[in-house]
């Protein structure tokens, strides 16, 4: 698949969402509709932040996540946190509360419209320890070894070169730094016609890696103590011998 075409399709979709707000079809980034009500297993209802985000500024949660990575990130006061694909800012704002006034949160998103919406939300939220940068998660606008924690929510599956994304995560993390990432994965043989469908790419389906391939990629990127914190299969997207799931991983840079 042509990387430029993929990124253009993804950027176009999320620019529209940034302007219009969350879909009335339900939660999750999938173009196929709501995934939350049909979760088979897992310890959290995806995209339902509950009390954790009850008072986050309206419009920060666009219902695009597939997990709650801040639950497992172990963010502490004074940490520097990087949010990949920060969208309208909900996870960044949750992280900002955890790091406190001595810490800092950087959100990176490749869609100008999302950056604009997040910046407006930050102003409404009164968050002075959060900044949003326009950039590509395959080439992060962040200095080497300058970050304590990386979080991301249902975004890496949208990147054509996921290996490069994890290389970038390793580059920006300090030694002993960690990540907590929620993302989409597949299981079984996904048909090629789905893999080549741009709408399915932008909907977090076509670009999702096989679960085992995803875990292998993270291991090969040089992370240690990689653990699965949550895994949720979806009934709403099942084919003949294949399906879609979300996974939340934590890992450490040695």
By the 10 Å C-beta count (0-12 exposed, 13-18 middle, 19+ buried), 38 is classed as: middle
- The reported pLDDT for the residue numbered 59 is 83
> Which CATH number does the domain housing residue 163 bear?
3.40.50.150
pLDDT < 50 positions in the chain:
24-28, 30-46
Give the HSE-up count for residue 30: Cα atoms under 13 Å, Cβ half-sphere: 26
Report the interhelical angle of 90-99 vs 112-125 (nearest 10°).
40
CA 119 to CA 18: how far, in whole Å? 12
Residue 51 sits in which domain range? 3-252
Q: How many structural domains are present in the chain?
A: 1
- The reported pLDDT for the residue numbered 5 is 93
Q: Which helix (H) or strand (E) holds 213?
A: helix 211-220
Q: What is the dihedral of CA 52, 57, 58, 59, to 10 degrees?
A: -100
- The reported pLDDT for the residue numbered 39 is 40
Both tokens of residue 44?
């959290």
């Amino acid at each position: 698949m042509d990387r430029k075409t993929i990124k253009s399709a993804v950027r176009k979709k999320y620019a529209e969402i940034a302007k219009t707000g969350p879909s009335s079809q339900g939660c999750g980034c999938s173009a196929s509709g709501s995934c939350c009500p049909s979760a088979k297993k897992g310890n959290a209802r995806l995209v339902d932040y509950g009390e954790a985000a009850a008072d986050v500024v309206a419009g920060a949660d666009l219902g695009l996540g597939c997990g709650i990575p801040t639950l497992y990130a172990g963010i502490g006061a004074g940490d520097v946190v990087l949010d990949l694909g920060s969208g309208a800012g909900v996870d960044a704002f949750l992280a900002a509360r955890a790091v406190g006034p001595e810490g800092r949160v950087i959100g990176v998103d490749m869609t100008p419209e999302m950056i604009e919406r997040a910046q407006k939300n930050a102003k409404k939220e009164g968050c002075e320890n959060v900044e949003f940068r326009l950039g590509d998660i395959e080439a992060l606008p962040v200095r080497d070894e300058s970050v304590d924690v990386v979080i991301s929510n249902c975004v890496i599956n949208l990147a054509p070169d996921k290996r490069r994304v994890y290389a970038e995560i390793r580059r920006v993390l300090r030694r002993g730094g960690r990540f907590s990432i929620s993302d989409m994965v597949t299981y079984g043989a996904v048909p090629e016609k789905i893999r080549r469908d741009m709408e399915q790419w932008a909907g977090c389906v076509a670009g999702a890696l096989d679960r085992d391939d995803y875990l292998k990629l993270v291991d090969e990127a040089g992370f240690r103590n990689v653990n699965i914190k949550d895994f949720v299969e979806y009934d709403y997207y099942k084919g003949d011998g294949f399906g879609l799931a979300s996974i939340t991983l934590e890992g450490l840079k040695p």
